[in-house]
Amino acid sequence: MDHSNYVIDEMISAKSIAARVEELAKEISEYFEGTDKLIVVGLLRGSFVFIADLAREFDLPVEIDFMETSSYGNSTESSREVRILKDIRGEIEGRDVLVVEDIVDTGHTLNHVVKLLKARNPKRLKICALLDKPSRREVDIKADWIGFEIPDKFVVGYGIDYAQRNRNLDHIGAVRFVE
């Protein structure tokens, strides 16, 4: 099938995302209340818009760091082979850490990252994901906070791409391939 012809059907509006991000930030701020600093580790590239909005809503001292992993390439299917392309710069031993992911699909990437970070002995490590696709899960991992549970559709927007396109949409849309 030719994957160059597709349309995007809006799934989650910008307004719904903004309201949910505010709720998530409040819950996370309450959970980590009293921390000297929350280290937010974003998984690039899909989470960058979500992190920017989430971090601005936190009522906590925050440090932001990033990891970049690769498991998709230009495909719509995960290769299940997770490579770390960029590691975090800061130390997390004895610190509070929040891993922020755009979407939890098969769970392989998140599982790999969490194991790697837990080996560095953080005080607490929690996970926040904008989107969760539980029907696709292949490993036993789940986020502590989830923005939206979605069906098994390929999505773009709000930082999430298809072949490096559509990250700039202010909403989440489902990709529908057409002939």
Q: Quick check: bond before 80 cis, omega within 30? A: no
Supply the residues annotated as catalytic.
105
Q: Per-residue b/e over 143-172, b at no fewer than 16 CB within 10 Å? A: bebbbbebeeebbbbbbbbbeeebbebebb
- Helices 14-31, 48-57: crossing angle, 10 deg rounding: 60
